[in-house]
């Protein structure tokens, strides 16, 4: 039996700890937004802001992720591709306002992040998506959020990279998330996550309970994404523990502009398992669609 969920397996691998610890100490900033009639603080950091004329790419983390847990991947991608970057922690994650103890996320929790939180964050940070649509890089739940934003705000996005996204719920996803629950209760996973979240119970139980809720088994954005017009790169590991290749193939079936990348020897986190291949593919993808704006 596996000892821990593959979603956070790198927290148990000492070879990653120096980089992770460095990112955990990053000097992030906080900005306030109004969300659902309450003030919410959002942790964020700008990458390479001196590249004032370069395209902006915004990073959307996974279901247990945060700004710090990206490690140095966003900066490496920005440096290679010549981009500016924005990394942030969603409400409930990292140093952002935690989830209230009695707050239960609903089936549309990713829609709320895409249609309410992300536009509010752009407004708070003075990002004019009409004048300069950003690129999005979303991982896992963050990939689904990126797809939803692209579907509902087609003129506010230059393009999207979605890594291990979900467009429907699969048995493999539920099984791995059930394993994550067991791991959280029976190992030191909570203490490890506490290095990257002010209140680790906030992201874990928010994410875990909704994904394991019986009603969530019917969740799907397959029909919703057909309105996406922007360029798309959908990538996934062939050994993904949280979804099959049906996820990215389903995107390509509905959106013919989609470019696919299947990665061998790669699990649910391509940016960790195959960073060089991912950075090369994303750089080429963005340069192909934005050749005049990147130096």
**Residue 220 phi, psi dihedral angles, 5° rounding:** -160, 140
The structure tokens 């680790």 sit at: 200
- Positions in the chain whose pLDDT score sits under 50: 1-5, 8-24
Q: Where are the domains of the chain?
A: 6-288
Domain 6-288 has CATH 3.40.50.2300: no
Strand bridging mode 56-60 / 84-88: parallel
pLDDT given for residue 25 in this prediction: 52
- The owner of tokens 């992300």 is 118
Residues 110-130: tens digit of each pLDDT: 999 999 999 999 999 999 999
pLDDT at site 37: 86
The pLDDT value recorded for residue 250 is: 98
Is the pTM higher than 0.75? The answer reads yes
- pLDDT at 294 (0 to 100): 57
């Amino acid at each position: 039996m596996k000892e821990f969920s593959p979603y956070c397996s790198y927290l148990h691998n000492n070879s990653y700890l120096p980089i992770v610890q460095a990112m955990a100490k990053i000097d992030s900033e906080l900005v306030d937004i109004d969300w659902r009639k309450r003030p919410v603080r959002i942790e964020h950091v700008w990458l390479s802001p001196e590249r004032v004329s370069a395209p902006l790419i915004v990073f959307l983390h996974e279901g247990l992720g945060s700004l710090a847990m990206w490690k140095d991947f966003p900066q490496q991608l920005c440096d290679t591709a010549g981009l500016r970057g924005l990394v942030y922690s969603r409400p409930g994650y990292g140093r952002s306002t935690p989830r209230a103890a009695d707050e239960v996320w609903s089936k549309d929790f990713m829609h709320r992040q895409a249609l309410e939180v992300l536009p509010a964050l752009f407004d708070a940070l003075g990002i004019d998506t009409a004048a300069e649509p950003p690129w999005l890089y979303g991982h896992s739940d963050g990939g689904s959020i990126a797809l939803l934003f692209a579907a509902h705000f087609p003129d506010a996005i230059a393009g999207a990279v979605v890594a291990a996204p979900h467009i429907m719920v699969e048995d493999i996803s539920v099984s791995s998330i059930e394993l994550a629950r067991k791991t959280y209760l029976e190992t030191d996973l909570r203490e490890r996550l506490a290095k990257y979240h002010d209140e680790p119970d906030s992201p874990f139980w928010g994410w875990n309970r909704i994904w394991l809720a019986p009603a969530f088994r019917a969740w799907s954005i397959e029909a919703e994404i057909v309105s996406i017009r922007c360029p798309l790169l959908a990538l996934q590991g062939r050994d993904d523990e949280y979804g099959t290749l049906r996820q990215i193939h389903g995107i390509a079936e509905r959106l013919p502009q989609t470019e696919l990348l299947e990665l061998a020897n790669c699990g649910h986190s391509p940016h960790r398992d195959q960073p060089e291949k991912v950075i090369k593919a994303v750089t080429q993808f963005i340069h192909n669609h934005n050749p005049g704006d990147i130096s």
